[in-house]
Structure 1
Amino acid sequence: MRRVGFIVYPGFSPMGFAVSTAFEVANLQMPERAYDVHMVSPSGGPVRTSQGFSVHTEAFAGEHYDLLVVGGSMESASPELVDFVRQAPAYCRRIASVCVAAFVLAEAGLLDGRRATTHWSRARELRERYPKVKVEEDRIFISDGPVWTSAGMTAGIDLALAMIEEDLGRDVARSSARKLVLYHRRAGGQSQFSSLLELEPRSDRIQSVLTYARRNLDSRLGVEELAEVAHLSPRQFSRAFQNETGQTPAKAVEHLRLEAARAMMEDTRHSIDMVAQLTGFADRDRMRRAFVRTYGQPPQVIRRQSRGADEAAFAEEVA
């Protein structure tokens, strides 16, 4: 059984407990419990959360942990906690942070020379305070060796599901996601932002067009087709769409295609040609140009980074 410790300290956000629930749900999918979950703190006893209620914790012990998770807090970590985290790799196989808890790992020196992420609103601060950390602010979660970091609180659930998949297999992770009423975990490299959220259309008419586009990415999705969904003439539609979203229909559709293609690249085994076809790019060259223009990297590199594939597999994919 894998021993999992959730490090709780003053100001801990209760939302972080949702991460521990993923491991609890995974246990329900197995004939025997796979995870033994503990709430721990430097001194043990009650620890006050950001909402004012307290959580009972066990004192840090010298026992081996398969995983230690540092939850996000509204308060700074004590020197005692940072020192404990600094020494943690000596007796745990993996250590992870949720949201702004990446600052605790960084202060302990565990992120030096490693790729890491945190909540987008604090990413620049993390980069400036800890220049040895390779901060990637537009990531849901990152696994760099035995150290894992996640973005906002809900991204911690995606991180937990990825760990469950690593430990127990994809089927258990998918089943756990369904039990949590999630479609499935988001891939680690997926953006912290959604194209639909960024567009923020004001009317139901334009929102319905975007929903239609996302569900029909393999179609051409020209202005005429989208205007018909909106029950407007192409000219009226183009003007209304740009007024509400600040983008042309073509640019918005490209962003939706890119978002879907990136998720497929990271979370499926489809070939690049198949991903391009399913997301409406028509061919891999057109998709590659869009990836480089938007993400600064071709799709092959994003897939390799997401999965940690070895160099031989990467060379085969490029060929």
Structure 2
Amino acid sequence: MSTVAIAVADGILHFELALAHEVFGSPAPAVASASVEHWYDVVVCGAGPVRVDGRFLLEPDGGLDRLAGADTVIVPGWADVDTDPPADLVDAVRAAHEAGARVASLCTGAFVLAAAGLLDGRRATTHWAHTDALAERYPEVEVDPDVLYVDNGSVLTSAGKAAAMDLSLHMIRLDHGSTVANTIARRLVVAPHRPGGQAQFVATPVPEQPDHPLGELLGWAAGRLDRPLTVEDLARQANMSSRHLGRHFKSVTGTTPLQWLLIQRIHRAQELLETTDDSVDAVAEATGMGTAATLRRHFNRTVGVPPDAYRRTFHRRRADGESAADRRSRGPVPAPATGPDRSRG
């Protein structure tokens, strides 16, 4: 039996804690009329009684020293990312990895892994709202804000909430295969497989400061996404040189003018795919992509699924009144994989 140890301390988030316990701690599924052997033995490990989410008192099954004997260690979300996690938790997670455990963080649990040095020199992710903070505090970590989860083999990280479920199912898929993972997904009524490289489906924020140097320009460009805008067009509108514009874009948006334009076009395409019956060709034209082939190439690379698959998932006229934003938060549902997939994280 494989041991999954959930590491807890004061300030751990209840959603990710409950999710990990539900996914790995439920009885093994019966697949192909045969029970799965070597299912998980889940233990919750902490230095003592811990306050979860500042509201619930939890009595762990054992101490943090038990992490070192686990096959898999899961660190749930960490509530206060502005403070350092407890040293005993960080030390125990590091010791578990050194002892050979697979260590996974859910959502902001990545801050614990980073504090333990497990993410240095590695690609990692966390909830999109905290990726900048993670990158700033731990510059040795290659933070990727645009994926659901990252699998580095012995160290895995996920984005927020729903992506924590995706990573958990990914680990089950690696351990027991797609059939078992899909069975668990059906029981939990969630998407059976979303590749880790898929985007988090959050809009690239436009800076809120009314007086930043690109304020008027970004709004002007966002209203002209159906046109073939160039860097020179943007620079001319902003009354800057192209080089000066590039420096401002990097400091304000964190990216280049052309990359920002592409992301805005992709977001506009998502909206049109969700809310209209326009053909992919029409969506391509309306977003300045020109052709359906160009839209498909950029959309698939950026979002992780083709436009047609995205529309099948999100463009549903449901009687229950589910909004497009609600559906987007879940992400699209590609066809189940036929085997373990490490190709993108």
* TM-score in terms of structure 1 length: 0.64
Aligned to 2:63: 59
**Aligned pairs, number:** 240
Closer, same or farther: CA 173–261 of 1 in aligned 2, 3 Å: farther
Calculate the aligned-residue CA RMSD, in Å: 3.6
Aligned to 1:69: 74
Deviation at 1:18, TM superposition (A): 1.1
Aligned to 2:14: 14
In structure 1, list runs of 5 or more residues that go unmatched: 200-205, 227-237, 239-247, 266-274, 281-305, 310-319
Residue 23 of structure 2 aligns with an amino acid whose one-letter code is: A
Closer, same or farther: CA 145–73 of 1 in aligned 2, 3 Å: same
The DSSP-based 3-state class of the residue aligned with 2:28 is helix
Superposition pairs of residues 196-211 of structure 1, within 5 angstroms: 210=274
- Contact 1:14–1:51 (CA<8 Å) still a contact in 2? no
Deviation at 1:137, TM superposition (A): 1.0
- Contact 1:13–1:49 (CA<8 Å) still a contact in 2? yes
1:40 equivalenced with 2:70 (yes/no)? no
Distance in 1 (CA, whole Å) between partners of 2:310 and 2:42 is: 40
- Contact 2:25–2:40 (CA<8 Å) still a contact in 1? yes
Aligned to 2:24: 23
The DSSP-based 3-state class of the residue aligned with 1:38 is strand
| Bigger helix share | 1
Aligned to 1:3: 3
1:133 equivalenced with 2:141 (yes/no)? yes
Deviation at 1:73, TM superposition (A): 2.0
- Contact 2:273–2:310 (CA<8 Å) still a contact in 1? no
The DSSP-based 3-state class of the residue aligned with 2:191 is coil
Distance in 1 (CA, whole Å) between partners of 2:15 and 2:274 is: 31
Aligned to 1:168: 176
Instruction: Give the alignment partner of residue 50 of structure 1, picking from 49, 53, 71.
Output: 53
Superposition pairs of residues 223-262 of structure 1, within 5 angstroms: 248=286, 259=299
Residue 307 of structure 1 aligns with an amino acid whose one-letter code is: R
Residue 122 of structure 2 aligns with an amino acid whose one-letter code is: R
Instruction: Give the alignment partner of residue 183 of structure 1, picking from 186, 191, 194.
Output: 191
In structure 2, list runs of 5 or more residues that go unmatched: 204-262, 265-269, 312-340
Aligned to 2:97: 89
Q: Percent identity?
A: 35
Deviation at 1:92, TM superposition (A): 3.9
Q: Deviations over 1:286-318 (max 9, x none)?
A: xxxxxxxxxxxxxxxxxxxx8348xxxxxxxxx
Residue 172 of structure 1 aligns with an amino acid whose one-letter code is: V
Q: Deviations over 1:14-37 (max 9, x none)?
A: 111113312234723461450001
The DSSP-based 3-state class of the residue aligned with 1:307 is coil
Distance in 1 (CA, whole Å) between partners of 2:303 and 2:173 is: 17
Deviation at 1:118, TM superposition (A): 0.8
Distance in 2 (CA, whole Å) between partners of 1:49 and 1:277 is: 42
Closer, same or farther: CA 21–222 of 1 in aligned 2, 3 Å: same
The DSSP-based 3-state class of the residue aligned with 1:155 is helix
1:110 equivalenced with 2:118 (yes/no)? yes
Distance in 1 (CA, whole Å) between partners of 2:201 and 2:77 is: 20
Distance in 2 (CA, whole Å) between partners of 1:255 and 1:51 is: 46
The DSSP-based 3-state class of the residue aligned with 1:48 is strand
Deviation at 1:60, TM superposition (A): 2.2
Distance in 1 (CA, whole Å) between partners of 2:162 and 2:148 is: 9
Closer, same or farther: CA 47–146 of 1 in aligned 2, 3 Å: same
Aligned to 2:230: none
Residue 19 of structure 1 aligns with an amino acid whose one-letter code is: A
Closer, same or farther: CA 136–261 of 1 in aligned 2, 3 Å: closer
The DSSP-based 3-state class of the residue aligned with 2:113 is helix
